[in-house]
Amino acid sequence: MSTATIRIPTPLRSFTGGADEVTVGADTVRGALDALGERHDGLIPRILTETGEARPFVNIYLGSKNVKTLDGLATTIADGDVVSIIPAVAGGRS
Amino acid sequence: MSAKDRRLAELRGSIPEIDPIDAAALQARGAVLIDVREPDEIAAGSPVGAERIVRGFLELKVENAVPDPKTTVLCLCAGGVRSLFAAEGLRTLGYEDVRSVRGGFNRWKTDQLPIEVPARLDDDARERFSRHMLMPEVGEKGQLRLLESKVLCIGAGGLGSPVALYLAAAGVGTIGIVDDDVVDRSNLQRQIVHTDARVGESKVSSARETLTALWPKANVVGFETRLTSDNVDEIFGQGWDVVVDGSDNFPTRYLVNDACVKHAIPNVHGSIFRFEGQATVFWPTRPAADGQRGPCYRCLYAEPPPPELAPSCAEAGVLGVLPGVIGLLEAVETVKIVLGIGKPLVGRLLTYDALEQRFTELQLEPDPGCAYCAPGKPFPGYVDYVQACAAPAAVAAATS
Ligand SMILES: [Zn+2]
């Protein structure tokens, strides 16, 4: 099992008690998200659909790469990897 | 024989001369034609596509115009004499194939070869943009490009304020602003293009006042309306070189994206939330010669989030300085695109965390199945999404 850091975007930090990073142990990106969800209730439905796929307005990155361009959520992770959750953000004018 | 005539005879013996018609043909095949006459002579006309470097500065400036000493260089003056001296100077500098145009611009005109009256910076512009002119990457040519450019800003709010202000300062000649809002006192914590005295005034007219106070010649084109599928084509179809998205809601962002794809306009994107921001350039129609095609917004996020999963807009809050950081990244990208210099933020998402003071770069890939930007697909039409903004109560329930 590898230890990875998950970066939590501001809109979802209310689910992690304000934490901007959560460190988890897992073998894959999906495993990392599962571990995150076990610790922080209500967060995963914001990121994944009921069938466990990334929602269309959320992208998940491993390092600088979108996991879509790798093996999706099955992408394996190594020690020290950074998983970023990047939701669509609209703000700007107001 | 006078000393001058002796010297000219010497030069005619060593510098090859070429007739204007042959010079024009060589120019069409990649040779560089340099008009070495004085600015007041050139103001009345000059060969189309010529570099214009006054004789006195020729050796000092030629390398910016002609970096490769193997390039064929054709010198032109009014009558074909000064160009002999110019050609010799370039030869001494190491240019291998330098020729002088026989009969100069007078013959060029008589032979009815193409001429143009070059656009010139006036004295005000020359002084105002002097720090741009000093850089070879901009110079007079680049500044003229900025002056002729048209940039459309979506929103004159947090992002649009610094964008429009710096674009006007940089000399972007025409700045369009789409905004249907009026200035509110709570805007002034970040929307620096407005003032306390203009609370209650339309944002478009308030922005125009600030921009023209900075640069009276700025042409500010206002659209005091909300962007919809009904007006987006009319507004975007006015020859904009770049669109800068500083909107605050998903329906507008998707309209901006879809219209930029349809009209093949680079879309400089920025968004902010509390202490975090993102910037990128969506430009799927970027000419292939410039590199790989980038994604559009829909390649990243095919659909906006439903209201119950979107962060509340009204309650979100934002650090007042943050849109300055992200807006200026957008302004930098815009100026680079207009000038055609540097590496645009295409296919790269720059995220910024103000609390950590950290920038992260993520790679963005175009979606080969994207309904909007994948090559060969018909334009699927605009979508008027309902404002996907959760009511404060729903967010409170969802986040409690
Ligand atoms: Zn696309």
Cβ neighbours around B212 below 10 Å, total: 14
Report the half-sphere exposure of B138 (CA within 13 A, side-chain side): 18
Residues of A in contact with B361 (CB under 8 A): 64
Closest by Cβ to B301, choosing from A11, A57, A94: A57
Q: Do A56 and B278 touch (CB under 8 A)?
A: no
CB contact under 8 A, A88 and B246: no
Partner-chain residue, chosen from A68, A69, A92, that has the shortest CB–CB distance to B157: A92
Q: Is the pLDDT of residue A27 over 70?
A: yes
Q: Does domain A2-87 have CATH number 3.40.50.1000?
A: no
Q: Is there a contact between A93 and B303 if contact means CB atoms under 8 Å apart?
A: no
pLDDT per position as a tens digit, B11-62 = 999 999 999 999 999 999 999 999 999 989 998 999 999 999 999 999 998 9
Sequential DSSP letters for B33-57: EEE-S-HHHHTT-EETT-EE--GGG
Residues of A in contact with B270 (CB under 8 A): 92
Residues of chain A found within 8 Å of residue B399, distances taken between Cβ atoms:
14-15
Q: Which two tokens stand for residue A59?
A: 């992208």
ipTM of the complex in this document: 0.89
Nearest CA in chain B to A84: B362
Cβ–Cβ under 8 Å, residues A27 and A78: no
The residue of B154, B180, B274, B318 whose CB has the most chain A CBs within 10 angstroms, and thus the best one to mutate to test that interface, is: B274
Instruction: Tell me which residue has tokens 């943050």.
Output: B322
The Cα–Cα gap between B362 and B220 comes to 35
**Residue B72 distance to chain A (closest CA, Å):** 45
* Residue extents of the structural domains in chain A: 2-87
B164 closest CA partner among B235, B127, B213: B213
Give residue-wise pLDDT tens across range B276-315.
999 999 999 886 555 667 899 999 999 888 877 766 555 5
Q: How far is CA B217 from CA A81, B148, B209, B211, in A?
A: 52, 12, 12, 9
For the entire predicted model, the pTM comes to 0.82
* CA B275/CA B319 separation, integer angstroms: 6
Strand partners, B352: B277, B359
In B, minimum Cα distance to A55 occurs at: B305
Reported as a single tens digit per residue, the pLDDT across B371-397 is: 999 988 899 999 998 865 544 433 333
Tokens 């969802």 sit on residue: B398
Cβ contact (<8 Å) for A57 and B304? yes
Least confident of A80-94, B182-196, B212-226, B329-343: A80-94
Say yes or no for a CB contact (<8 Å) between B276 and A10. Answer: yes
Cβ within 8 Å, pair B158-A93: yes
